[in-house]
Amino acid sequence: QVQLVESGGGSVQPGGSLRLSCEASGSPTSSVSMAWFRQAPGKEREGVAAIVTDGMAAYADFVKGRFAISKDKDKSVLYLQMNSLELEDTAVYYCAADHRWYHPERVIGGLYRMESWGKGTQVTVSS
């Protein structure tokens, strides 16, 4: 497993932007598949975006065109650039990783149980 620490959350007005970061410790082979999930109050956790080491990425329909996932392999940091934020984006955002290669579409679809998770960072969108 790998240790994951998220940062970058905060409060923003609708239409604003935030960039989340997730620092991964340990061997890079422990984070072949990485993803962002989120959980809003009273709702189930849902996949937001996922990426694998070869760069293939996938996004949930509700963030396509607004969010971008990327990974700095040298620094072992996963990012989520969030633009045009909406009230519905308010949630705790979690970083997840697994040493196995999973198709990103299936990761955000919740078909796999990722083996490592961060503690989350709060994102609040309010006017």
Q: pLDDT of 38-93, one tens digit each?
A: 999 999 999 999 999 999 999 999 999 999 999 987 778 999 999 999 999 999 99
**So what's the pLDDT on residue 11?**
98
- 96, 2 contact by CB (below 8 A): no
125: β partners: 12
Number of other CB atoms surrounding residue 82 within 10 Å: 26
Q: How does the average pLDDT of the chain come out, rounded?
A: 95
